[in-house]
Every structure is written in C-alpha cells, then in structure tokens.
Amino acid sequence: MSLDQHQKEFIKLLKANCGQYRPHQVFSDFCAMAAIGLNLPVDHGPYFEEREKRFFSIRERYSDNEFIRFDTMSKCIVESLTADFKDSLGGIFMELELGNHWRGQFFTPYDVALMMAKIGYPDHKEILDIHGFVTMNDPCSGAGALVIAMAQHLLESGINYQQHLHVIAQDIDETAAHMTYIQLSLLYIPATVVHGNSLNPGKAYPYWQTFAHIHGEWDKRMYRAKADDTMLALLRATSSAASPPVKDIAPAEQTFEMLRKRRNQSLRKYQDDRQPGLF
C-alpha cells in the first residue's frame, strides 16, 4: 500500500511516542484523543463529561513533548485528507500491521471501496429526487473507507456530498469507530458513528455525531423524510381506496410530487445559507 508523505510523517511521529507503550496502544490513544477533541466542541450531549474525563486521563500518560507530537499527527491526517480522497488512517493502520492486535482486522483497500461505491449507487440521482439526499449505512465501517469512497463518487458525479449525503456508520471495535469519526468529521460528512455490534441492534450503544450532522440539523431532515414516506403511503392508500374515483382529486403521486418540490426548494435555500463548502 502506497502512503503519501503526510502518512509517512505520521508514522515517524507515532514511533517517536512509543517510549512507554507499544505502537498499537499509542495509535489507539491518538485516535481516542483526536475523536474526543473533534467531538467535545460541537456535541454537548450525554457523553460529554465521560469523554472529557477520558481525554485528560489519556493525556496524563504522555509527556508534553509526546502530546505535541500527537497534535502534529492530527495535522498530518488533515493534510493527507486535504490532498486527495483516501482512507488515511486505514492505510496507516495496515502499514503498521496493527490488525494483529485487533483480532486480525483487515481494512478494505480504498480502490476497492471506490469501485463498490460506484456499483452500489449507480442510480443516486433518482434517489436524490425522492428526499433531496441519499443515505448510507455501513455496519462494519473500519476506518470509514467505504463512506469516504461514496463521498468521492458523489462529488465526481456533480453532487455535493456535504449537503446531500447522510451516513450511519458502525463498528464493534472502539478504535475503528474513532478512526471513522475522525475522518468523516474532517471531510465534513454528515454522519452518526456508532460504537457497537451491528448484529445486536436492539441494544443502545454510544454514538458520535459529526459537526456536519449537527450543523446541518440532520435529525430534523431525517424526520421530515420519514414523515414524507408515511404521507406518501397514506395518500396512495386513500387514492386507491376511492370507489368510484372522485373527479378532480389529484393522485397521491401528484400531491407528493408537489410537496416534495416545495420542500426541496426550501432545503436548498437553507443549505446554501447555512452549510460551508469544502470544494
């Protein structure tokens, strides 16, 4: 796997911080602090105090110079993601062969992830016409490669993923969830990242919401989309049950289409006024 100069610099700094701890522990600590550092300023939800305490508990284990290296490592990831779409942290993870310490994890190569995004969402424009955005659910996100590839695919198709993509990403491994959250946050991808077992959906797991999710008020947008789906089902049921047909009554699809256009016009204006553009 070919790494860029920023990823290589990250690895040098990580190894310099391996005085007391093994590389996999230093990497895990970096991911935890970086994820918490990105989350605390924007999310004062139920996990705020717990995450704040954890950040400082990890910080206390490292010297001032080591902590400065962690900060520089964060900048390396920012610069790596700015240079091009890629799974920066996943590439570093695999290069350091850290998967051996996490039950032999292997992350999907980014080129493969991009191909899967293009195959899985060939009709994204049709999906956009329904709600004004597409959704993606990754139940085993790793470092977020599939999500990043989806963002690239949409952007190359002329669609601003920062405004028209929403993601639910989940991983059973905490460090993987942190990696996903870091990269999706830096790329301004609206997402909720869950640390938990996707095969046990009935259990409540801790979650991380990106700044793009919070700033774009995506909880409200998702609620509206669900309400639209319910309305369409109701209109169709009412329309098909009318016997005999009532003259001059618009079909359910026509009514829904009118409501959808009005809502999308409002959302486009709202998004243009509110959300920043990275590209």
| Cα–Cα dist 233/61, whole Å | 56
- pLDDT bracket for residue 268 (50, 70, 90): low
Amino acid at 152: Q
Has residue 3 got a pLDDT over 90? yes
Has residue 59 got a pLDDT over 60? yes
Q: What is the CA angle 218-223-265, rounded to 5? A: 70
Express each pLDDT in 60-106 by its tens digit. 999 999 999 999 999 999 999 999 999 999 999 999 988 755 556 77
Which residues, at least 6 apart from 257, have a Cβ–Cβ distance to it below 8 Å? none
pLDDT at residue 200 in the model: 83
pLDDT at residue 261 in the model: 63
| Cα–Cα dist 107/2, whole Å | 14
Residue identified by tokens 């920023």 is 6
Contact 239, 259 (CB under 8 A): no
Contact 157, 149 (CB under 8 A): no
- pLDDT bracket for residue 279 (50, 70, 90): very low
CB neighbourhood size of 192 (10 A): 20
User: For the whole prediction, is pTM greater than 0.85?
Assistant: no
| Peptide bond just before 244 cis, omega within 30 deg | yes
